[in-house]
Amino acid sequence: MVRISLKLVVKMIFTLGIMAGSVYIFLRRRPNLRRPDLRRPKPPQQEPRDECERDDSSISNSTSNAEGNPHNYTLILNNPGKCGVTDDDVFLLVMVTSTPGNRKQRLAIRNTWGNETNVKGTIIRTVFAVGLTQDAKMQGDLEQENGVYKDIIQEDFVESYRNLTLKTVMCLKWASEFCPNAKFILKTDDDTFVNIFNLVHHLEGLNATQARRFVTGHVYTLAKPVRHAKNKQREVQWCLTKRDYPRDSFPPYPGGNAYVISNDVTRLIYEVSLTVRYLFIEDVYLGLCLEKLGIDPVHEGGFVSWKDVQSCKDKKIASHWLKTPGAMVKAWKDLIHSC
């Protein structure tokens, strides 16, 4: 009984196997019966779009200048007394690059980590740096906001991504002109969260030698320019042709979302920038200026790119991942509870 059914099963499997094989061979010889769309020839592979080459001449020539980078812009909004009203020297000048429309981000920063009274016994000054808007209402709102808080500086270059380096140079120029008494400056963005307590503590721990000709942040070394943007938004933004930037790698530079400069070199960096050809990637541009001055930026692990800095228990200093003003307020609450 058992033997017979085993034989039967073997026979059936064999028969079924042959049948399946025949059907398979039959279908293969008539490809249109078998998943027709997979057999269709693929459309020819599209050449990756090279935005870099395409848009180069029209965009990057607007401000590039082989002779250097003259900075002949005029301050429309200024608060010249910002650093000069106290007898004591300013320890830290916080310069937040912003855009005219980002009022909510500025309010969040004023109410949280950027408030000048956060660190008892340490004089901190905070300003927001913006470019020019063509929108008259937005400009009116900005002037009104500055009337209340007296902390906005604005130069008359057009606000745009490709002009970010102009904003950095504006900050260097302003700090050397209107805040020479500050010991350090922090250049940061309005979507960056700073653990101001850890930052001040870190800077106070430097000795006199370390605090001279000092630039720190998350330092990138041996980074290479993106030459071909393959349709990725970020690559398109950062893409550089050989004409924009002929060298194969960048000098060391501190990541742009937050870096600190000892104020003894701010004027030097500003002055050397006038002789360094414009590059719209502002942190790399700073690296080029530092290289020309022979200043090596010092890497500091507390400047993180994509991690939270919401606790005083770790040594984190700044982070670049708080996309909304609400997130900034929440991070601040978490931070002060842990301090």
* Site of interaction with ligand NAG (CB under 6 A): 57-58, 61-63, 70, 72, 110-111, 115, 117, 149, 157-158, 160, 162-163, 207, 209-210
CB of 69 to ligand NAG, least distance (A): 11
CB of 290 to ligand NAG, least distance (A): 20
Written as six digits, the tokens of 244 are: 């924009």
CB of 41 to ligand NAG, least distance (A): 41
Q: Which is nearer to ligand NAG, 78 or 115 (CB)?
A: 115
Q: What are phi and psi of 287, to 5 degrees?
A: -55, -40
CB of 317 to ligand NAG, least distance (A): 18
Q: Which is nearer to ligand NAG, 9 or 158 (CB)?
A: 158
Q: What are phi and psi of 161, to 5 degrees?
A: -60, -45
Whole-angstrom distance, CA of residue 100 vs CA of residue 191: 14
Q: Which is nearer to ligand NAG, 5 or 209 (CB)?
A: 209
Q: Which is nearer to ligand NAG, 157 or 303 (CB)?
A: 157
Q: Which is nearer to ligand NAG, 162 or 321 (CB)?
A: 162
- Please identify the residue of the shown chain whose CB is closest to the bound ligand NAG: 160
Q: Which is nearer to ligand NAG, 321 or 330 (CB)?
A: 330
Task: Tell how strand 215-220 and strand 253-262 pair up.
Answer: antiparallel
CB of 111 to ligand NAG, least distance (A): 5
Q: Which is nearer to ligand NAG, 275 or 305 (CB)?
A: 275
Q: Which long-range contacts does 11-17 make (Cβ < 8 Å, 24+ apart)?
A: none
CB of 208 to ligand NAG, least distance (A): 6
Q: Which is nearer to ligand NAG, 134 or 233 (CB)?
A: 134
Written as six digits, the tokens of 314 are: 């770790």
CB of 36 to ligand NAG, least distance (A): 49
In the 3-class helix/strand/coil scheme, how is the chain assigned residue by residue?
Answer: CHHHHHHHHHHHHHHHHHHHHHHHHHHHHCHHHCCHHHHCCCCCCCCCCEHHHHHHHHHHCCCCCCCCCCCCCCEEECCCCCCCCCCCCCCEEEEEECCCCCHHHHHHHHHCCCCCCCCCCCCEEEEEEEEECCCHHHHHHHHHHHHHHCCEEEEEEECCHHHHHHHHHHHHHHHHHHCCCCCEEEEEECCCEECHHHHHHHHHCCCCCCCCCCEEEEEECCCCCCCCCECCHHHHHHCCCCCCCCCCCCCCEEEEEEEEEECCCHHHHHHHHCCCCCCCCHHHHHHHHHHHHCCCCEECCCECCCCCCCCCCCCCCEECCCCCHHHHHHHHHHHHHHC
Q: Which is nearer to ligand NAG, 167 or 320 (CB)?
A: 167
CB of 291 to ligand NAG, least distance (A): 22
